[in-house]
A and B are shown apart, each in its own frame.
Chain A
C-alpha cells in the first residue's frame, strides 16, 4: 500500500518563503505531483517530479528524494492568493493518483 503524510495546516507571511513537506511510504511509483486547490474549486496542477532533484517553475519549486521518501514544495514571494490547500500525490503505472490529505496554507499580511 501507500502512505502519504503532509502537515495539516501552515501559516506564512506575505512576501516570505514557505516549504511544504510530503513524506511517503510506497512500493513504487512513477512520479510525484503537487496540486493546488482553492476552497470550493478544482485541484490544479503545479509540478511533477520523476527524477530526484529540484524542479523550478517561477515562484514554485518542487523537490524529490526517492531514497528518503521525501518531497517538498517551495513557494517564494508569497502572495495572498497563494492561500489554498496543497496536495501531494503519487502517480502510479496506470495513471492512478494517490493523494495525501493536503496542507492548508494561510498567507497573512
Chain B
C-alpha cells in the first residue's frame, strides 16, 4: 500500500515568489494534516482537514498561507509571497477519522533565498 505522497521533494525560490506543495494521503484516510518543521525542531501543525473541511487552521498564517482539499482527498498548501523565514520542511500526514496514529509523508524541503 502506498504511503503519503508529497511533491515536490525540494523547492528553491526567491523571496516574494509564490510556492505550492501537493499531498496525496493514504487511500481511505479522512483526516489530513499539514505541518511545518524547522531544523532541529519537532513538527508544528498548520492545518487539519476532516474530508474537505478545515477543522483546525488556528496556526496557519492566513496573510500569506492558504490550503485547500477540494474533493476531500489531495491537498495543496500555498505560500504567497514567500519570506526568508518560511524556509523549512513542510510535512503532510494523514490518519483514519477516529485514529490517533498519523502517517507522515517525506516532506517538501523549501529554501527561500
Contacts and interface: CB of A to CB of B under 8 A. Distances in A.
Contacts of B48: 94-96
Interface in B29-47: 31, 40-45
Interface residues of B, number: 24
B31 to A, nearest CB: 6
Contacts of B101: 33, 45, 48
A94 B56 contact: yes
Scoring A33, A96, A97, A101 by chain B CB atoms within 10 A of each residue's CB, the highest score goes to A97
B103 interface: yes
A99 interface: yes
Contact of A45 (B45, B102, B105): B102
Contacts of A41: 106
Interface of A: 4, 8, 30-31, 33, 35, 40-45, 48, 87, 89, 91, 94-102, 104
In the A-B complex, the 6 residue pairs with the closest CB atoms: A99-B42, A42-B104, A91-B100, A43-B104, A42-B106, A87-B42
Interface of B: 3-4, 31, 40-45, 48, 55-56, 91, 95, 99-107, 109
Contact of B104 (A44, A100, A104): A44
Contacts of A40: 109
15 contacts: A8-B40, A40-B109, A43-B91, A43-B104, A45-B103, A48-B100, A87-B43, A89-B42, A96-B45, A96-B56, A97-B43, A97-B45, A98-B45, A102-B40, A102-B42
